[in-house]
Amino acid sequence: MDLSRSHPETPREAALRLVAEQQYTEAVLWLERALARSEAPDERQAIANTLSDVATAARDSGDLVQAQRALELATSCQDWADLHCRLGAVLAERGRRAEARQAFDRALALNPRYRAAAVERALLDARDGRIAEAMQTLRAMAADQLAGEPGAFERGLERLGEADFEDAAPLLHRGLEPTDAWIEEQLHAYQALVYDGDMVGALQHVRAAALERPGYPDLHLLLGAHELQMGATDDALESLSRALELNPDYHAARVEFARALESVGDTPQALVQLEMVLAGQPGHAEARQLHERLTARRRGGRTATASSAHRS
């Protein structure tokens, strides 16, 4: 199939058509090329969402290689906890435990309350022989409020204590599922509204979700990014500040915060925020690109001012 030819479909439509034909490699390649061409944050977010859907389909069909590739591309442009957690799960399934651990650690760094990632991380510890350490982590979690299937989490702990990892994993997740499933449900509903072009409805949806679950930084980031896209900069600054209050190490939120600061003319503070990201993650591509653009703009402005003063 010639993927380079002109195509009337959107990247999402083309990718999902290829997925329906079980052409996962071609779907991922199509989206990778679309991602390389995209610059606008909303375009990149839409592509990341589609990559997430492709990864789900590929994993369900047993194509773990393309599921991994899709999630790696998605996390390269959207630093979201759920994407890192899903990438970690695929890596673990492929036996790449060290990389899986890094992915779960990143998910937990972005959202320390992300219990599904904490369970996966503990299961990795258990499989590596650190069962006591894993049990301690999970027992602390069991002391918290669990919204899943009654008794499932405790039965999962018992299986884990017997080193029965295969039976333990689904029980532990069933004990947690409603909370994490609720977040995923909200994200999918939001994405559907965006794809349909209902930006006002999408804003109302994510705002209601953030009010219902105020402790989740991912929701505040999504809300702030959407508010910024719609020109509500004051609201965006407030939402993004809340995401950073909940997790100061949330680089994606800090980059978006820098964009919001730039939009209100506070370029010096935007650069400070980007430098904080780059100090912690020097390879952060979006932070680097935005920092270079703002720095070049400031240099250009100073040069123009100096030239004007010289002529006068």
* Residue 190 near residue 181, CB atoms below 8 Å: no
State the residue for tokens 């990438």: 87
Residue type, 215: G
pLDDT digits over 245-279, tens only? 888 878 888 999 999 999 999 999 999 999 998 88
Q: Which pTM was predicted?
A: 0.59
- Is the pLDDT at 235 greater than 90, yes or no? yes
* Domains of the chain: residue spans and CATH: 1-78 (1.25.40), 197-302 (1.25.40.10)
The answer, yes or no, to whether residue 136 has pLDDT greater than 50, is yes
Residue 16 class from Cβ within 10 Å (0-12 exposed, 13-18 middle, 19+ buried)?
middle
Helix axes 81-93, 41-60, angle to 10 degrees: 30
pLDDT band at 213 (very low <50, low <70, confident <90, very high): confident
Average pLDDT, integer, range 92-100: 93
Confidence band, pLDDT 50/70/90 cuts, at residue 5: very low
Residue, of 271 and 157, whose pLDDT is higher: 271
Q: Which of 12-21, 146-155, 191-200, 279-288 has the highest mean pLDDT?
A: 12-21
121-125, 199-203, 221-225: segment of lowest average pLDDT: 121-125
Three-state secondary structure call for residue 288: helix
Give percent of the chain above pLDDT 90. 37
Calculate the dihedral angle through the C-alpha atoms of 42, 45, 51, 57, rounding to the nearest 10 degrees: -100
* Average pLDDT for 127-141: 80
Q: Which amino acid is at 174?
A: R
Cα 32 off chain centre by: 17
Averaged pLDDT, 98-110: 91
The predicted structure's pLDDT at residue 146: 58
The residue behind tokens 């010289």 is 310
Tell me the average pLDDT across 229-240.
93
User: How many residues make up the chain in this entry?
Assistant: 312
Residue the block writes with tokens 């027992």: 139
Q: What amino acid occupies position 165? A: F
CA–CA distance, 178 with 170 (Å, rounded to integer): 13
